Amino acid sequence: MVLKEETRIVQSRNAYTQYLIIPSAVVRDSQYPFKDGGKVKIIVDPAHRVVVIAPSEGVLIDTTPEGISIKFVEP
């Protein structure tokens, strides 16, 4: 099962920082893979208007003109 929920991006009033709100229905799901304080990498593909959030280790992500390639590797 894929976790899906619509959300929004919030712009900080004091900085160029933006925050992605992850709804509690997604975070509370037993399949949700991220924990508080965990490190992630963010990849933005402006050509396809896609943002990918992945664990810092164990995932190789490459963007191409055709789209995004995601490969899982053993840590």
3 inside domain = no
Amino acid at 67: G
In 3-state terms, what secondary structure has residue 24?
Answer: helix
Contacts for 63 with CB less than 8 Å, ≥ 6 apart: 43, 45, 47, 69
pLDDT for the residue 28:
92
1 within a domain of the structure (yes/no): no
Question: What is the model's pLDDT at position 66?
Answer: 84
Give the pLDDT of residue 7.
Answer: 94
Is the per-residue pLDDT at 1 higher than 70?
A: no
Q: Is residue 13 part of a domain?
A: yes
* pLDDT tens by residue, 15-65: 999 999 999 999 999 999 999 999 999 988 888 888 889 888 888 888 888
Total domains, the chain: 1
